[in-house]
Amino acid sequence: MVHRRNKFRLGILVSGRGSNLQALIDASKKKEIDAEVVVVISNNPKAFALERAKKHKIPAIAPPDQSEKAFINILKQYDVDLVCLAGFMKILSPAFLKAFPKKIINIHPALLPAFPGLQAQKQAFDYGVKVTGVTVHFVDEGCDTGPIILQSPVVVQEDDTLGSLTERLLKEEHKSYPKAIQLLATERLKIAGRRVIQRKK
């Protein structure tokens, strides 16, 4: 391993626009988190997230070999402490999870366990909930079922459209993801079964 270790090292998996990636890059640059994005990997070579990473001189890789093994190898090569899924549209296999035990997290735009899976904002909006929100959770073998690190509520306003609600949820995502990562970077979390417990400072 060729990298000097000082900060908590993040490997980010993306498939699309990468606004959450951008929030993490910004939080790191502003020193709001004791962590840095050391590599960005995409299953989609056209993902705008890759451009965002390149702009900040962060290695941005869309491996021609799309096997999970290739992804794992890159993450190991960059010696990451944490794998963050940020709009990554692929379910990880048990073998992938085993390669990074308790070291993979995801952000989901609803208050799990309500509205897992795709288009969570729309699911919540169409259901007519009064409160929805954002969840950051560890990734396990299910779809959006892993232990919850943190949740932030977002109130649905009477005059919300799906678009306005999605926008407010996204803003909340951009605050919640760095917060959760900071808890991990500073070793403040303990997983006890389904519960993720915050140690006092």
Q: Nearest to residue 174, comparing CAs of 46, 17, 5, 40?
A: 17
Is residue 11 a contact point for ligand GRF (CB under 6 A)?
no
String of DSSP letters for 49-64: HHHHHHHTT--EE--S
Q: Which stretch binds ligand GRF (CB under 6 A): 17-25, 34-42, 53-61, 148-156?
A: 17-25
**Given 3, 108, 137, 174, the catalytic residue:** 108
Burial class (CB within 10 angstroms; exposed 0-12, middle 13-18, buried 19+) of 59: middle
Query: Does the active-site annotation cover 108?
Result: yes
- Using CB under 6 A, which residues numbered 92 to 111 contact ligand GRF? 107-109
Is residue 20 a contact point for ligand GRF (CB under 6 A)?
yes
- Using CB under 6 A, which residues numbered 24 to 83 contact ligand GRF? none
String of DSSP letters for 154-197: EEPPTT--HHHHHHHHHHHHHHHHHHHHHHHHTT-EEEETTEEE
Is residue 18 a contact point for ligand GRF (CB under 6 A)?
yes
**Least distance (Å) between residue 65 CB and ligand GRF:** 23
Helix axes of 19-29 and 48-55: crossing angle, nearest 10 degrees: 20
Q: Which is nearer to ligand GRF, 79 or 160 (CB)?
A: 160
**Least distance (Å) between residue 86 CB and ligand GRF:** 5
String of DSSP letters for 7-28: SEEEEEEESS--HHHHHHHHHH
**Least distance (Å) between residue 104 CB and ligand GRF:** 13
Is residue 133 a contact point for ligand GRF (CB under 6 A)?
no
Give the total of residues touching ligand GRF (CB under 6 A): 12
Is residue 173 a contact point for ligand GRF (CB under 6 A)?
yes
Look up residue 130 and give its DSSP letter: S
Is residue 172 a contact point for ligand GRF (CB under 6 A)?
no
The β-bridge relationship of strands 82-86 and 189-192 is: unpaired
Among 11, 87, 133, 178, which residue interacts with ligand GRF (rule: CB under 6 A)?
A: 87
Is residue 168 a contact point for ligand GRF (CB under 6 A)?
no
In three-state secondary structure terms, 90 is coil
Residues that bind ligand GRF (CB under 6 A): 16-20, 86-87, 107-109, 170, 173
Q: Would you name the residues annotated as active-site residues? A: 108
